[in-house]
Amino acid sequence: MKLKAYGSRGSMAFSHRQGLKTGGNTSCFGLDVNGHTVVFDCGSGIMQFHEDMQKKRKEDAAAGRADHGLTFDILLSHLHLDHIIGLSLFDFLFDADNTIRVYTRSRANTPLVDQVLGIFKPPYWPVDYRSLNRAAFVEIIGGETIQLADGVEVKIFDSMHDNATSGFRVFGEGKSVVYLLDYEIGSDEDQFESLAAFCKDADAVVFDATYLPEDYPPRRGWGHSTYEDGMRLAEASACRKMIFSHFFHAYSDETVASIAERAKGGSGRTVYIAAYDGMELEI
């Protein structure tokens, strides 16, 4: 398994000189597992994934390998703008040679493609993307396990965040990765135990560490967490890697780096990592 961070910020894509290392793109991660590609969320970071795939196509063409189109799956945690804004320029969806499936929960009595791409139409966008779409949109529900490809499965978890948000645990190659953006760990102990069980012994957990603990109180109830919440989850689940992401857009590189440093005092076997755009990890 190889995990790559394409977008490590939350809520708003924002570039500033003090945050160049972390990057300014919103949520998107890619996972290569058992020869299959899984994309978590389509924030502005998905344009870096787009560049990677274009580069791969050029390399295949130069090596004389036939281009049969791209095949990958997208797992959308929810439809808040920072998690789908990258679709505004993601033209892979419009190529009939590609095999792309987009999985997310349904939130209305309308076709799923309308729910996801419906904002990309006049007057909010110059072109109605629904008429151009060639991808398949697949409804998921919490608690189910679905097969994405041979040897690749994903389990769905209902997240503590508004507007029908999902967490994912992808299994393959004898390992597993949990994607848990956006998520707010509250005071409900039964809910926390369910979450810890979902993440139990995972090889990596990508976790919402949007706010520093000192910045969190006035934002309580907004659906986000802190690195201290992630440490608590790591200790309860015994996950091997805890990858913090979805950082508040205004945090500098120094502030983001301090998050992993502060977490190093945690007990257990967990390694704590602060994500940044372009980060690659072998899982």
pLDDT value at position 115? 97
Taking residues 137-163, what's their average pLDDT?
96
Fold classification of 2-282 is Metallo-beta-lactamase; Chain A (3.60.15)
Q: Using 50, 70 and 90 to split pLDDT, how confident is the model at 83?
A: very high
Q: Using 50, 70 and 90 to split pLDDT, how confident is the model at 79?
A: very high
SS3 of residue 262 by DSSP: helix
DSSP state string for 71-97: EEEEE-----HHHHGGGGG-GGGG-TT
Residue 4 · residue 278 · CB < 8 Å = yes
Residue 71 · residue 150 · CB < 8 Å = no
C-alpha 124: how far from its chain's center? Answer: 24
Taking residues 161-181, what's their average pLDDT?
97
Q: Using 50, 70 and 90 to split pLDDT, how confident is the model at 215?
A: very high
Instruction: Tell me the CA distances in angstroms from 184 to 176, 249, 258, one per residue in order.
Output: 22, 18, 21
Q: Using 50, 70 and 90 to split pLDDT, how confident is the model at 267?
A: low
Strands 175-180 and 71-75: unpaired
What are the structure tokens assigned to 156, written together?
A: 């769905």
> How far, in Å, CA of 102 to CA of 129, rounded?
15
> How far, in Å, CA of 128 to CA of 145, rounded?
33
Taking residues 185-202, what's their average pLDDT?
94
Sheet holding 28-33, edge to edge: 136-139, 99-104, 71-75, 36-40, 28-33, 2-7, 280-282
Q: pLDDT per residue over 9-57, tens digit each?
A: 999 999 899 999 999 999 999 999 999 999 999 999 999 999 999 998 8
Strands 9-10 and 247-248: parallel
Q: pLDDT per residue over 221-243, tens digit each?
A: 999 999 999 999 999 999 999 99
What are the structure tokens assigned to 188, written together?
A: 């409900």
Residue 126 · residue 159 · CB < 8 Å = no
What are the structure tokens assigned to 264, written together?
A: 């190093």
pLDDT value at position 61? 85
Cβ neighbours of residue 55 under 8 Å, at least 6 residues apart?
A: none
Out of 88-97, 213-222, 266-275, pick the least confident.
266-275
